[in-house]
Amino acid sequence: MTLALENIVKAFKKDVVLDGVSLSVDSGETLVLFGPSGAGKTVLLRLIAGVIEPDEGTITIQGRDMDGVEPEDRGIGMAFQNFALFPHMDATQNIAAPLTARNMSKSAITETVNRIARMLKIEHVLHHKPKELSNGQKQRTALARALAGEPDILLLDDPLRNVDAKLRFEMRLELPRLLKDQNATVIYVTQDYKEAMALGDRIAVMNAHGIEQTGTPSEIYLAPANIEIARLFGDPVINLLDVIPEQTEGGMRITLSGVPVPIDGGYGEVAGRACIVGIRPEALRFVAEGTADAIPLTIETETPLNEKTVTLGLTKNGREIMVSRPAGTPGPAEGTGFIAIDATHVHLFDRATGNRIVPTERHTARSQGAA
Amino acid sequence: MNTTSPLERVLRGIAITLVILFFMFPIFWIVLMSFQTNATILQVPPSIFFEPTLQNYRGLITGQLVTDTSSLEIKFMGNLFNSLFLSTTSVAVGLVLGVPAAYAFARLKFRGSEDIAFTLLSFRFAPPLLVLLPLTIYFQQLGLANTYGGLIWVYQLIVLPLILWIVRGYFEDIPADIEYAYRIAGHRWWTTFRKIALPLAGPGIAAAALLAFIFAWNNFIFALVLASADKQPVTVGALAFITASGVQYGQIAAGIILSIAPTFALALYAQRYLVEGLSLGAVKG
């Protein structure tokens, strides 16, 4: 294990930002810290970097306790969200900063800077000062600076936040390869769930209370720990409807718009309890009128988004439902449509606590297989 | 849309001219006086037409003041040197002490840091006369009276708070992340201070140094009480022109011109820095 945080507590004045956070990251792994702003992601990175000290708890890097270890001695590279380039130095000097701290020859430094600049496609702006760089170039320079020292641990604080959409898309494709080449342990902070899914070997979802769930991207997506996480991952957002599951002769089922929908038998224990069902828009599909157990829907709007089309409809009870289908596939007729639910892709949440209800063992084989 | 009518512009021009005349006339008059003999200065009514003479300047520079009635020795050039030496050294010492202190006050929030910073500033609130009597007594007992060292020490009362507060504002303006980034890159805090904080606060430090220099140069009261003739700066030295045989207006004028010349040149050269440095310091506080 490269990095371990144990029971970290950090407060600023009386404002407790991190309350007992524990986290471990394996060597070579990319862990994404995902969460809304104010969740303490940046504070966590700064604690690891050593620019602020935790009030309680221990941070160990490569098995060594980091208490009292200065930032320069931690073997860390960091890219800041606001880039934090040195305004009085040109891009070359910025990137060379981790190298000049060591006893490296001038030629070796130049060589390394040029190699990294080539990799990040900024070799043509190396003699520019930060204020002469575009946002994208600044971001790459900041990234190059973090990579230059070939650190064991790379902390990336939302590096794509301040760049335009096109570049963000490009970098989202490029970064995983880049990070793998570095062979470093990476902690990547982001507020964008797509970035988190694209880059993370694992994702740690944070909110104001600390880390809510840690898991691989598919675990987070397919088995979100609570409603909040289910809502954060996925675009369009998951459909959430109030239901009360019932035990019938035909097995467990929920009723939507008067139509019974069978669900996993493993949910048996929650029969009669107030629940919320979460249905991903892509787990719904349009079917022909008259199909058995089809739910009627009044079609409100259709939004074509390059690779998919999102339909907003209203149920009989006036609740909004989003349906997503691959672009080019046939949609509903004007006015009214009928949908069927892929029952293996529904989640049940306890309405009181918001936590996901995990179906019991004996019936989970089917839903596991779907995952 | 331009709403200023020609009349308005003319009136505004006149108003500005009046203000400038009001403030600049004494300086203009001093310049004229410095080229006149005592006799032409004192004639009634005064006239701006006269036979210009360089005897005042010659007298100051050679150190021999020759008048109709007597010959007087003047140490004006010595005074000028003292002013230069005292101000420069005071500012240098003030920078060495004040810049790291300003950095500490800007970056480290230690117990009582605000109070200490404010106490240092409060040295500027009290009139110097308040501290002069006790200062004189213990300077005499410590043997610091009439030494350059003692004067430079006292000048820190003027120079240090100024440097501290202006430079602190500049350090606070540097995003802490920039320094963190340099630390994380593997540099010690001392290297970070030298390579990142100092260059970035450069304009502020320059402005503070210039201002401190001017304040030190213009100081009168400390030097008057704590220094005797051979250590006195120009501000005090000018008193020597008030002699038993009369006031040497011409020499005083020439002396003033010579003594304001360095600060005037400095201020003109660094005008932009000064305004920037001061307004930033005022806003950031």
Nearest CB to B186; choose among A72, A80, A87? A72
What are the residue boundaries of the structural domains of chain B, listed by start? 6-62, 76-284
- Residues in chain A, overall count: 371
The Cβ-side half-sphere exposure at A305, using a 13 Å CA radius, reads: 11
Contacts of B93 (CB under 8 A, 6+ apart): B152, B156, B159
Q: Quick one: tokens of B226?
A: 């704590």
Q: What is the pLDDT of residue A366?
A: 47
- Pairing type for strands A56-61 and A3-12 reads antiparallel
Buried-state track B67-97, b at ≥16 Cβ within 10 A, e below 16: beeeebebbbebbbebbeebbebbbebbbee
Q: Quick one: tokens of B154?
A: 């006292």
Q: In which element (H, E) is residue A163 found? A: none
**Most confident listed range (A233-247, A341-355, B60-74, B79-93):** B79-93
Which residue is it, tokens 């760089």?
A133
Tell me how far apart the alpha carbons of residues A293 and A313 are, in angstroms, rounded to a whole number: 17
Q: Amino acid identity of B10? A: V
Tell me how far apart the alpha carbons of residues A79 and A156 are, in angstroms, rounded to a whole number: 5
Q: Chain B: which residues have CB within 8 Å of chain A?
A: 175-178, 180-189, 191, 196, 199-200
- Among candidate residues A300, A294, A298, the one with its CA nearest the CA of residue A338: A294
CB A238 within 8 A of CB A371: no
Q: What is the pLDDT of residue B282?
A: 38
More confident residue, A368 or A337: A337
Q: Taking all residues of chain A, what is their mean pLDDT, rounded to a whole number?
A: 86
Nearest CA in chain B to A147: B185
* Residue A348 pLDDT exceeds 60: yes
ipTM of the complex: 0.81
A40 shares contact with chain B (CB less than 8 Å): no
* Residue A127 pLDDT exceeds 90: yes
Tell me how far apart the alpha carbons of residues B178 and B187 are, in angstroms, rounded to a whole number: 12
Q: What is the pLDDT of residues A154-182, one digit of tens each?
A: 999 988 887 788 888 888 888 888 888 88
What CATH fold (topology level) applies to the domain B76-284?
MetI-like fold (1.10.3720)
CB A232 within 8 A of CB A331: no
Mutate: best of A48, A78, A152, partner B, most B CBs <10 A: A78
Phi, psi of A357 (to 5 degrees): -95, 120
Percent of chain A predicted with pLDDT > 70: 97
A51 shares contact with chain B (CB less than 8 Å): yes
Which residue is it, tokens 């998951």?
A238
Tell me how far apart the alpha carbons of residues A142 and A86 are, in angstroms, rounded to a whole number: 10
Q: Which residues does chain B have within 8 Å of residue A82's beta carbon, measured at their own beta carbons? A: 175, 177
Tell me how far apart the alpha carbons of residues A267 and A278 are, in angstroms, rounded to a whole number: 14
Q: Quick one: tokens of A357?
A: 């209800």
Strand arrangement, sheet containing A259-262: A246-248, A251-256, A259-262
- Pairing type for strands A259-262 and A308-314 reads unpaired
* Residue A357 pLDDT exceeds 50: yes
CB spacing of B200 vs A85 below 8 angstroms: no
Tell me how far apart the alpha carbons of residues A82 and A84 are, in angstroms, rounded to a whole number: 6
CA A43 to chain centroid, in Å, comes to 17
Q: What is the pLDDT of residues A40-94, one digit of tens each?
A: 888 999 999 999 999 999 999 988 899 889 999 998 999 998 889 999 899 999 9
- Pairing type for strands A185-190 and A30-34 reads parallel
The domains located in chain A, with CATH, are: 3-228 (3.40.50.300), 232-370 (2.40.50.140)
- The predicted model gives B27-31 an average pLDDT of 89
Distance from CA of B203 to the nearest CA of A (A): 12
Q: Taking all residues of chain B, what is their mean pLDDT, rounded to a whole number?
A: 84
CB spacing of B177 vs A80 below 8 angstroms: yes
Distances from the Cα of B179 to the Cα of A55, A138, A168, B99, B187, angstroms: 22, 17, 27, 16, 10
Check residue A183 and report its DSSP letter. T
Band (pLDDT 50/70/90 cuts) for residue B283 is very low
Which residue(s) pair with B64 in the sheet?
Answer: B73
- Pairing type for strands A275-279 and A346-350 reads antiparallel
Contacts of A42 (CB under 8 A, 6+ apart): A81, A157, A158, A189
The Cβ-side half-sphere exposure at B80, using a 13 Å CA radius, reads: 17
